[in-house]
Amino acid sequence: MKNRSGYTAVSPYTAPCWLPGGHLQTIYAYALRQTMNFTYRRERWETPDGDFIDLDWLDPSPESLSLVVLFHGLEGSSRGHYAICLMNELRRRGIRGVVVHFRGCSGEVNRLARAYHSGDSSEIDWILRRFRERQPNLRFYAVGVSIGGNMLLKWLGEQGENALRVVDRAAAISVPVDLTIGAQRLDYGCSRLIYTSRFLRSMKPKVLAKISAHGLPIDGRALCAISTFREIDDLYTAPFHGFKDAPDYWQHSSSKPWLRRIRVPTLMINARNDPFFPGDALPTPAEVSDCVALEFSQTGGHVGFVTGKFPGDLSWLPSRILRFFSQAVE
């Protein structure tokens, strides 16, 4: 049975036999070399609170009637493998695209003591409405990956019917919709050693810079010693973004409670072997509105979805997303 978004809850993706397991499917996709068949044009937006964000634009055709905006994952950027693959496909099809960098993710530390956080739907609201105001006649599609997807889904649920005035369709990829479960998954075992340590290597220097620039009451030695998301969210993310502590931040920032209120046709793609989020914690059809299409494959890893004979490629995901968006004009 199809829902109002036009898709059933069955994913056609299957990982190639030469790439087994969620960890390999995640790491290989990240490491797979991508060629940029385009040049970004950077634009800076001043935020209402005196900060800034940077946007990297793909402008393949001034006649294009569609715009796809991408919100990256934790500590991501326009140079991420999934961003390059999506922009390459948009260029091939003559569609406008833009990657929005969250505060501090474009290569320059943002001005304020705050940064970005996993539930910052108010920032998503400001960004998307500004796009719509600038381009009122375009078909407008939003894609969120991982934490960027959580922020987007939360915004879609909070806005309900009002979101239909802003975006035509949306897609959320490899989203940890329950941040408590996601953080617990990443803070233990091999995931902590492989993934969390990498994220922290990027996050710690940014917080240290903020300690220096703003005199934050954070012990730099304690910051350097942390090794889990629980610790950095208790020390910095939660208190400097309006939350009591890490559990409070995770609870109030998760998108899962908002999924029933989404009214924009939305495609959710997750792999059940995603090492960032367990398959048994993914939402069921009863936990989402009938505007949300759930496509949960058994394989794929975290924003992996490699396909084809060795060495493979990453064409499946952008093609799947754009096929869903194309239904808006069929």
**One of 146, 191, 255, 297 is an active-site residue; which one?**
146
Q: How far apart are CA 126 and CA 292, in angstroms?
A: 23
What is the rounded CA–CA span in Å between residue 28 and residue 34? 12
Give the up-direction half-sphere exposure of residue 138: CA atoms within 13 A in the CB hemisphere.
Answer: 24
Q: Distance of alpha carbon 231 from its chain centroid, rounded?
A: 22
Mark whether 227 is an active-site residue. Answer: no
- Bridge partners of 98? 57, 69
How big is the chain by its Cα radius of gyration, in Å?
19
Burial 273-283 (b: 16+ CB within 10 A, else e): bbbbbbeeebb
For the question of residue 66 being annotated catalytic, the response is: no
Q: Closest by alpha carbon to 26, among 293, 270, 288?
A: 270
Give Dmax over CA atoms of the chain in angstroms.
Answer: 57
In terms of Cα–Cα distance, which of 266, 104, 108 is closest to 175? 266
Q: How many CA atoms lie within 13 A of 184 on its CB side?
A: 10
Catalytic residue among 106, 241, 274, 297: 274
Is 302 one of the catalytic residues? yes
Cβ-Cβ contacts under 8 Å for 128 (sequence gap 6 or more): 69, 140, 142, 155, 166, 167
User: Rounded to whole angstroms, how far apart are CA atoms 186 and 328?
Assistant: 36
Alpha helices in 11-97 (DSSP H): 22-31, 81-93
User: Which residues are identified as catalytic?
Assistant: 146, 274, 302
